[in-house]
Amino acid sequence: MKRSDRRKRRRFLARALGLASVGALAGCEKLSQTSWFPAMLGKADALSEGAAKLVGRKAMAQEFSPADKSPTFRSNGTADPGTDDYQALVGDGFAGYRLVVDGLVEAPRQWTLAELRTMPSRSQITRHDCVEGWSAIAQWKGARLAALLQSVRPKPSARYVVFHCADPMEADGSDLYYESIDLDDAYHEQTILAYELNGEALPVKNGAPLRLRVERQLGYKHAKYVMRLELVDSFARIGGGKGGYWEDQGYQWYAGI
């Protein structure tokens, strides 16, 4: 082969590769904008969830020593729901607060904060992992969700617990935050409705009076300002139908990764 031929061939290869990669990247952009392609990629979530359940369905999240605690536990997402109803609750020290548990249960009921404090509880120093990538360590104390569920007796058709919250995600006070977990997580020993952070009453910025701790999942699953638990067989008719506020925006429902 002549030297000039070789040079031509090399130039052609370089251009072809350059064009192909530019085209491929533009293709990635186009595919991200479709609804079918991300939905297809999202099928891998079921694989991830299945694998996680297979290797550690009841595994316990690591617990840390007091020395590992972060100096402060930052607030992320809503720092204050700011609605009139919520202000009224804060105003009387949450004396008027009632946690409602209903949906597919035999015996729906309500709890005051004082009653919740008498329920079987758990205290744990755990790591909070935000979907953004950061982690913080803090001590949480709260009522075990399993105990609440035993009290209301879920019907056999119940598959998920939906957490309805007080914080609106829109400036006009609409689109209240919500989340959901399955019964594996709901009955997990470390799943609590926390009313204390680092030994003190849960502050407003961290979800007062009650927030979910579901230790093996990312931060957005840990609903703050929890007002009502609803047991459901499907979350198709709630919110955007994906099982949570961030899930409706495209985030994974299974947030164990």
Partner 1 sequence: MDNADASVMPVAGGYVYRRHALAVRVMHWINVVALTILLMSGLGIFNAHPALYWGLSSYNGKPPIVALTAVDTPDGGKRGVTRIFGHEFDTDGVLGLSAQPNGQRAIRGFPWWMTIPDMQWLSMSRTWHFFFAWVLVLNGFAYVIYSIVTRHLSRDLAPTRFDLAGIRQSIVDHLHFRHPRGEASTRYNVLQKFAYLAVIFVLLPLTILMGLGMSPWMDSVWPGWVGWFGGRQSARTIHFICAWLIVLFVLVHVFEVIITGVYNNLRSMITGRYRVSEVADEAK
Binding stretches for partner 1 (CB under 8 A): 6, 9-10, 13, 25, 28-29, 32, 38, 41-45, 47-48, 52, 55-56, 59-64, 68, 70-74, 127, 129-137, 215-218, 246, 249-252, 256-257
Contact 124, 63 (CB under 8 A): yes
For residues 74 and 153, which CB has a smaller minimum distance to partner 1 in the complex?
74
- Residue number with CB closer to partner 1 (12 or 88): 12
Q: Residue 48: count other Cβ atoms within 10 Å of its Cβ.
A: 13
Least distance to partner 1 from the beta carbon of 40, Å?
A: 8
SS3 label, residue 174 = coil
When the beta carbons of 102 and 248 are compared against partner 1, the nearer one is 248
Name which of 125 and 147 has its Cβ closer to partner 1.
125
Counting Cα atoms < 13 Å in the Cβ hemisphere of 250 gives 10
Q: Of the two residues 167 and 215, which places its CB atom closer to partner 1 in the complex?
A: 215
Nearest to residue 125, comparing CAs of 135, 144, 138, 136?
A: 138
Q: How far is the CB of 36 from partner 1 (least distance, A)?
A: 13
Measured from the CB atom, the residue of 86 and 224 that comes closer to partner 1 is 224
Q: How far is CA 191 from the centre of its chain?
A: 12
First-to-final CA distance of the chain = 53
Smallest separation, CB 64 to partner 1 (Å): 7
> Measuring CA to CA, which residue among 99, 95, 212, 188 is closest to residue 152?
99
- CA-CA distance, 245 to 66, in Å (whole number)? 33
- Least Å from the CB of residue 68 to partner 1: 6
CB of 175 to partner 1, least distance (A): 17
| Shortest CB 185 distance to partner 1, Å | 10
- Map tokens 């790591």 to a residue: 127
Residue-wise over 72-81: b if at least 16 C-beta within 10 A, else e? ebeebbbeeb
